[in-house]
Structure 1
Amino acid sequence: MIDFKGAQFPKPVILYVVFFYLRYAVSYRDLEEIMAERGVRVDHATLNRWVVKYAPLIGAEAQARKRPTASSWRMDETYIKVKGRWTYLYRAVDRHGKTLDFTLSVRRDLAAARRFFKRVISTNGVPDRVVIDKSGANLAGLQAVNVSLKFTAKCKTVEILQVKYLNNILEQDHRFIKRITAPMMGFKSVHSAAATLAGIEAAHMIRKGQFDDPGMTVFQQFAALAA
């Protein structure tokens, strides 16, 4: 359960605001105006604090509660602007387009790729195969992970495929994330960017039906992750 103790506004109000920001393409000032129209006076700086505080907690719950994913993965990276500079958003989905995990990195190199593959395997298990692009860094990162996997108890390694068209499903998935982040006009820090993206990914997972949702609305599913 996520703790809302000490918050100046009721939990449902905070969750509604955070969900709205993460799910739809709005700025903090847009959302400040929207909430004012609904009788809730809250400034954009407070909205930002709520998102940075609660979005990663909800994102972690989403990772823990999501349904099992397929063993064939697609991995690629896209770009997110932080402090006026482009950073690299590593993302992976399974062959059905279900979200696996993400990480934000200031560099696009072997070390960053290896860290991402180790992260996504730790949260989703070892896949049968991973489709990547022609990036030498991504290939080297996954090969380095395979070396480590050879010495585990199961001795299972990952088949690596470098076939660009097979990653089309992930390229399309990137577009949703970029559409939500576009009105944000960049982030002020890597920390706030990663926190916000964790929530965006969680809201996107709900949209893709990755949770047990017996009759619940999209917002109700989001709120349930905080319960």
Structure 2
Amino acid sequence: MRQFPLGFREVEELMLERGVLVSHGTVRRWCARFGQICASGLRRRWPRPGDNWHPDEVFVEIDGELKYLWRAVDADDAVLDLLVQNRRDKAAARRFLRRLLRTTLTVPRVIVTDKPRSCRAAHREVMSSVERRSYKGLNNRAENSHRPTRQRERAMKGFRSAGETQRFLAAFNGTSPHFRPRRHLMTAPGHHAETTIRFVIRNQITASGRPAKA
């Protein structure tokens, strides 16, 4: 089975196999509309986030300009939130941490960050009561979470705008983990059964998100 969300070219090829001709722009609009519906529905089914958070930032090139993608995951590798920003200074770190608190509606027990001073300063202002840990290698979990984004970035040959990148990654990070169970921990029949269940859940969510027929 193919994973969701697909690239535009992959969707066009699937439709062409079924004798349906669609334009690149039509596929783009489908992904923008239904991708977020699927991501929002899956997020509502997620369990409560863990109390150990790993925020991190990585640079991305958007239309020839250097931007920073801030992302946070918990101890189970679930993506809590992400935000595309122009900088990686104290103000950017503070904005992202405040956004995390609003999105998750919870406060972590421990926050694991890198060593930049901007992270320390933002932590003191926004989460002063939360334990902060920082030393080499401790935040590898957050750094590894950037890999799917890098893979999709290469497949799409880069991002075109900050707003488009934010919208796409919000949908992509909300759906991609759902279709990527930890296969190395499963038998082949178990993986097939789990994948089938997850596609059924996806179909239920997308069906409930469609507008009613007149």
TM-score greater than 0.5 by the shorter chain: yes
2:187 maps to: none
Shift of 1:161: 1.0
For 2:108 and 2:26, locate their aligned partners in 1 and report how far apart those are by CA, in whole Å.
41
d(CA) in 1 for partners of 2:29, 2:167: 11
* Counterpart pick for 2:54 among 74, 82, 89: 74
What residue in structure 1 maps to residue 4 of structure 2? Answer: 19
Any unmatched runs of 5+ in structure 1? 1-16, 148-156
2:115 corresponds in structure 1 to 134
Q: Which residue number corresponds to residue 199 of structure 1?
A: 171
Moved more, 191-200 or 181-190: 181-190
Residue number in structure 1 paired with 2:149: 177
Equivalent residue in structure 1 for 2:137, among 149, 165, 187: 165
Q: Please give the per-residue CA displacement for 1:121-164, whole angstroms capped at 9, x wherever unaligned.
A: 222210011000112222222222125xxxxxxxxx21111123
Assess if the C-alpha contact under 8 Å between 2:4 and 2:176 holds in 1.
Answer: no
Q: Which residue of 1 aligns with 2:212?
A: none
Q: State the one-letter code of the partner of 2:78.
A: K
Secondary structure of 2:38's partner? helix
Check conservation: 1:55, 1:195, Cα contact below 8 A: no
Q: Distance in 2 between matches of 1:135 and 1:225?
A: 41
Residue matched to 1:37: 17
Cα 1:63–1:103 shift into 2, 3 Å:
farther
Aligned letter for 1:159? E
- What is the alpha-carbon distance in structure 2 between the residues aligned to residue 67 and residue 135 of structure 1? 31
Q: Give the deviation of 1:78 after TM superposition.
A: 1.8
Q: What number of residue pairs does the alignment pair up? A: 195
In structure 2, the partner of 1:103 is: 83
- Tell me the percent identity: 31
CA distance in 2, matches of 1:113, 1:120: 11
Alignment of 1:201-216 (within 5 A): 201-207=173-179, 216=196
Question: Using the alignment, how far apart are the partners of 1:45 and 1:89 within structure 2?
Answer: 26
CA distance in 2, matches of 1:69, 1:194: 21
TM-score by length of 2: 0.79
Deviation at 1:214, TM superposition (A): 8.5
Q: Distance in 1 between matches of 2:203 and 2:123?
A: 36
Question: Against the structure 1 CA distance between its residues 107 and 72, is the aligned structure 2 distance closer, same or farther, given a 3 Å change threshold?
Answer: same
Secondary structure at the residue paired with 2:112?
Answer: strand
Residues 30 and 133 (structure 1 numbering): CA distance in 2 closer, same or farther, change over 3 Å?
same
d(CA) in 2 for partners of 1:61 and 1:114? 28
Alignment CA distance shift 1:117-1:170 (3 Å): same
What is the TM-score when the length of structure 1 is the normalising length? 0.75
1:173-226 CA-to-partner distances (Å, cap 9, x unmatched) read 2112211222111222222111110111012331466xxx98853333333333
Give the Cα–Cα distance (whole angstroms) in 2 for the partners of residues 88 and 62 of structure 1. 26
In 1: Cα distance, 2:83 partner to 2:65 partner: 17
Matching residue's letter, 2:161 = S
Match for 2:4: what amino acid?
F
Measure, in 1, the Cα distance between the counterparts of 2:169 and 2:134. 27
